[in-house]
Structure 1
Amino acid sequence: MNALIVEDEILIAEQMQRMLYDVAPHVRVLGVVSSLKALQRWLVQHPEPDLIFMDIQLSDGLSFAIFEQFRLRCPVIFTTAYDEYAIRAFRANGIDYLLKPVEEEDLIRSLEKLRRFSGSYEGLVRQIRQEPAFREKFIVHHRQSAVPVSVQDIAVFELDQLIYLHKRDGQRYVMDHRSLEEIEAELNPVQFFRANRRQIVSLDAIERFRTDPSGRVLLTVAPVGTIEISKEKAPVFRKWINR
């Protein structure tokens, strides 16, 4: 099993590696990253690991932010000096939540918990990596009728006070969903990309894109027009579109 450690305190990261070597020598540590930016670069440049040990409070923000940029499917064991983030940890990919300083028996317990999910580490990873069932269509309402819209006909989902579905033929419908996050969870990440806080774009609707002098990526999307992707998220977009 390949694991990644996300930790901004060098001594704690080294301690975690030593404990893993002692109690789980079959777990291979691929590397240690110490910030959100470093984690983002690592995930862009490498295949997803089988397991992540993730500190919550990093030098440049909370590690939960990474789940807004990447659809990670591997299990995560969170580590932190505080217990106030437990609920958010389990809403992410968290299978356990370790308080610092991490004791060897706590680490063993977490790995045992991971094993119990399916009888083996590899079995759990296979379960988590199974492709979920994604939406093939959405039902929207127009006047007094319900209208099925195939995902192949969708260009953009957009938040503008209400949530709108833009079809590639120019039609626009108001949706019943409460948030873009709810919609994003139902979409195939190979086909749709969360461009920013307000917009999710379909791969097939992107006509062209360019990088401006500030490092932002500007998409030309029919029929919506220009959609901006921040400089920080630009590497994630390039990895996605070059699959």
Structure 2
Amino acid sequence: IELEILKELLSPKKNTFKSRFLVRFGEKIQSVPIEEISFFFSEERVTFLQTQAGKKYVLDSTLEQTEAQVNPAEYFRINRKYLCRMEAIDGIFAFSNSRLKVTLKNSTDSDILISREKVSDFKQWLDQ
């Protein structure tokens, strides 16, 4: 029995990422599967999730907390305001000072920029 406990303690822990997020919609509480979430964004100190269908829900966590709860292979923090899924990216454009400009599906924000510092990590993430 001690050997089993020792094996468990020594084995590397698997990261467990959320498979769904609970959101409130008026008085109703709803569970949104991670596969349906296009991106998370922060606006005026409030964090939102946006679904592929274009629905927007308020989250109780910060963008930093949310980033730690999702799989980094699936979601990338493109800037202080956005954490997006690869499938949500509509277009990537070269921008001044070696930055990139990104457009997201179902987003009205046309000014989503990736800083110079994050460009190589972003390209690496896209190329996995």
**Alignment deviations for residues 150-184 of structure 1 (CA, whole Å, 9 cap, x no partner):** 1111111111121111112111111111x211111
Secondary structure in 2 aligned to 1:232? helix
Unaligned runs of 5+ in 1: 1-117
Aligned-residue offset at 1:188: 0.5
Counterpart in the other structure of 1:157: 40
Aligned-residue offset at 1:148: 1.1
Counterpart in the other structure of 1:190: 73
Aligned-residue offset at 1:230: 0.4
Q: How does 1:78-97 map to 2 (within 5 A)?
A: none
- Alignment partners' CA distance in 1, 2:41 and 2:54: 13
Q: In structure 2, do the counterparts of structure 1 residues 207 and 131 end up closer, same or farther at CA, with 3 Å as the change threshold?
A: farther
Counterpart residue type for residue 68 of structure 2: A
Pick one of 20, 27, 42 that aligns with 1:137. Answer: 20
Unaligned runs of 5+ in 2: 1-5
> Pairwise CA RMSD of aligned residues?
1.9
Counterpart residue type for residue 173 of structure 1: Y
More strand as a share of residues: 2
Counterpart in the other structure of 1:203: 86
Secondary structure in 2 aligned to 1:233? helix
Counterpart residue type for residue 17 of structure 2: F
Q: For the pair shown, which has the larger CA radius of gyration, 1 or 2?
A: 1
Q: What TM-score do you get using the length of structure 2 for normalisation? A: 0.84
More helix as a share of residues: 1
Secondary structure in 1 aligned to 2:73? coil
**Are 2:111 and 1:233 aligned?**
no
| Structure possessing the higher relative contact order (Cα contacts under 8 Å, 6 or more residues apart) | 2
- Alignment partners' CA distance in 2, 1:180 and 1:162: 9
Counterpart in the other structure of 2:3: none
> Number of paired residues?
119
- Alignment partners' CA distance in 2, 1:155 and 1:240: 16
Counterpart residue type for residue 176 of structure 1: D
Q: What TM-score do you get using the length of structure 1 for normalisation? A: 0.46
Counterpart in the other structure of 1:220: 103
